[in-house]
Chains A and B, each alone.
Chain A
Amino acid sequence: MGVATNRKFWAPRQQRELLKGLLFVSPWLLGFAGFTVYPILASLYYSLTQYDILRPPRFIGLANYHQLFFQDEVFRFVLYNTLYLVVIGVPAGVVTAFMVASLLNNEMKLRPLFRTLFFVPALVPAVAAAEVWRWVYNTNFGVVNSLLKWGGMSIIPFLSSPDLAKPSLILIHMWAQGTAIVIFLAALQDVPRSLYDAALVDGANLWHRFWNVTIPMCTPTILFVALTSMINMFQYFTIGWLLTEGGPNQSTEFYGIYLYRNAFLFFKMGYASALSWILFLIIVAFTILIFRASQRRVYYAGDGES
Chain B
Amino acid sequence: MSHDRMTRREFLRWSVVGAGSIGIAACMAAPPAALPSAETTGQNDEPDKASTQLVWWHGWGGPSGLAAMTAIEDAFNTGDHSFQIERVHVDEMNQKILVAIAGGTPPDIGVCCAQYAQLYSRNAVVPLDDYIDASIVIKRDAFVQGLFESMQWLGKTYGVPAIEAGPRYGIMYNNALIAEAGLEAANFPTTWDEMYEWHVALSKFDSAGNVSTIGFDPRDGTSRNGPATNIPQFWAINYGLDAWDSETLTFHYDRQEYVEALATIKRFYDYVGVEQMESLRSSTGTWVNTPSAQFPAGILATLNIGYYGPGELAINAPDKEFGVAWVPVPEARSGIKMQSVGGIPAYIPVGSKDPDRAFEFIEFLTTDAVQTPVFEATGWLGGRKEWYDPDLPRYAGRDVLRWYLQSVNEADEMWACPVIPIQAFVEDQREKTYAAVIFGEKTPEQAAIDMHTACTEELRNEFPDLVTE
A residues adjacent to B (C-beta < 8 A): 19-20, 23, 26, 50, 52-55, 67, 71, 74, 138-142, 149, 152-155, 157, 159-162, 247-250, 261, 264-268
When distances are taken between beta carbons in the complex, the residues of chain A under 8 Å from B101 are: 53-54
Interface size, chain B (Cβ < 8 Å): 42
Q: Which of B118, B206, B276, B282 has the largest count of A CB atoms less than 10 A from its CB? A: B282
A71 touches B118 (CB 8 A): no
Decide if the interface of chain A is mainly helix, strand, loop or mixed.
loop
Comparing B119-127, B180-188, B252-260, the segment that makes contact with chain A is: B119-127
Contact of A154 among B210, B283, B432, B461 (CB under 8 A): B210
A23-B12, A139-B280, A155-B210 known; 20 new pairs, CB 8 Å cut-off, are A20-B12, A52-B118, A52-B462, A53-B99, A54-B119, A54-B123, A54-B124, A139-B283, A149-B208, A157-B275, A161-B278, A247-B431, A248-B439, A249-B432, A249-B439, A264-B94, A265-B94, A265-B424, A267-B98, A267-B424
Residue ID in chain A nearest B277 by CB atoms: A160
B428 touches A155 (CB 8 A): no
Report if B16 contacts A (CB, 8 A).
Answer: yes
When distances are taken between beta carbons in the complex, the residues of chain A under 8 Å from B276 are: 157
Once A54-B98, A152-B207, A154-B210 are accepted as A-B contacts, the answer to whether A19 and B282 lie under 8 Å apart by CB is no
Residue ID in chain A nearest B442 by CB atoms: A249
When distances are taken between beta carbons in the complex, the residues of chain B under 8 Å from A161 are: 275, 278
| Distance in angstroms between the alpha carbons of A267 and B284 in the assembled complex | 32
Once A155-B210, A249-B436 are accepted as A-B contacts, the answer to whether A268 and B462 lie under 8 Å apart by CB is yes
Report if B102 contacts A (CB, 8 A).
Answer: yes
Report if B425 contacts A (CB, 8 A).
Answer: yes
| Distance in angstroms between the alpha carbons of A153 and B280 in the assembled complex | 16
A141 touches B283 (CB 8 A): yes
B422 touches A266 (CB 8 A): yes
| Distance in angstroms between the alpha carbons of A53 and B115 in the assembled complex | 14
A-B contact pairs, 19 of them (CB 8 A): A23-B12, A23-B15, A26-B19, A52-B462, A53-B101, A54-B101, A71-B457, A140-B283, A149-B206, A149-B208, A149-B210, A157-B279, A248-B435, A249-B435, A261-B428, A264-B94, A265-B428, A267-B98, A268-B462
Residue ID in chain B nearest A158 by CB atoms: B279
B residues adjacent to A (C-beta < 8 A): 12, 15-16, 19, 94-95, 98-99, 101-102, 115, 118-119, 122-124, 206-210, 275-276, 278-280, 282-284, 422, 424-425, 428, 431-432, 435-436, 439, 441, 457, 461-462
B435 touches A50 (CB 8 A): no
B432 touches A250 (CB 8 A): yes
B441 touches A249 (CB 8 A): yes
When distances are taken between beta carbons in the complex, the residues of chain B under 8 Å from A55 are: 122-123
When distances are taken between beta carbons in the complex, the residues of chain A under 8 Å from B428 are: 261, 265-266
A160 touches B210 (CB 8 A): no
When distances are taken between beta carbons in the complex, the residues of chain B under 8 Å from A20 are: 12
Residue ID in chain B nearest A63 by CB atoms: B461
When distances are taken between beta carbons in the complex, the residues of chain B under 8 Å from A50 are: 461-462
Chain B nearest Cβ from A216, distance in angstroms: 45
| Distance in angstroms between the alpha carbons of A250 and B432 in the assembled complex | 7
A264 touches B98 (CB 8 A): yes
Chain A nearest Cβ from B34, distance in angstroms: 24
B425 touches A266 (CB 8 A): yes
